């Protein structure tokens, strides 16, 4: 069966520090992968999606970037975090019938 791993679960970072969140999927090949962010009290915002290695689509201009160095690995990065980058970050892969399956999320607090 397919599983998705996302880490860390919680992260506290100072403003201006770099960021790297990693997500890996097991049990499937060439998945469509996604990064979402959920700010406090708000809905999920699609940040990036990828349909294959090295293929990244960005949905909104922001201080973040994404990379997909391997088929089942999706990385979210930032060179310098802003206060506004705080939020709950979720990685997801798309299964059959366009259903999304999420990792357990990373709660990022930028101070």
Residues in the site for other proteins, rule: CB under 8 A?
32, 34, 36, 42-44, 46, 49, 51, 59, 88, 90, 94, 97-105, 107
Which CB, 66 or 79, lies closer to other proteins? 66
CB 83, min distance to other proteins, A: 20
Which CB, 7 or 16, lies closer to other proteins? 7
CB 4, min distance to other proteins, A: 9
And the tokens for 64?
A: 């973040």
CB 21, min distance to other proteins, A: 14
Which CB, 16 or 52, lies closer to other proteins? 52
Note every long-range contact of 61-68, with CB atoms under 8 Å and residues 24 or more positions apart, other chains counting: 64/19, 66/35, 68/33
Q: Which residues contact 91 (CB under 8 A, 6 or more apart)?
A: 4, 6, 21, 23, 33, 34, 35, 36, 74, 76, 102, 103
């Amino acid at each position: 069966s397919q599983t998705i791993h996302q880490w860390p679960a919680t992260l506290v970072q100072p403003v201006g520090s770099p960021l790297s969140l990693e997500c890996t999927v097991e049990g499937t090949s060439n998945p469509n992968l996604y990064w979402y962010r959920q700010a406090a009290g708000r809905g999920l915002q699609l940040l990036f999606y990828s349909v294959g290695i090295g293929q990244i689509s960005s949905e909104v201009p922001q201080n973040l970037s994404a990379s997909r160095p391997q088929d089942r690995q999706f990385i979210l990065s930032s060179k310098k975090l802003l206060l506004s980058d705080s939020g709950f970050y979720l990685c997801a892969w798309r299964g059959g019938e366009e259903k999304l399956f999420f990792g357990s999320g990373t709660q990022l607090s930028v101070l």
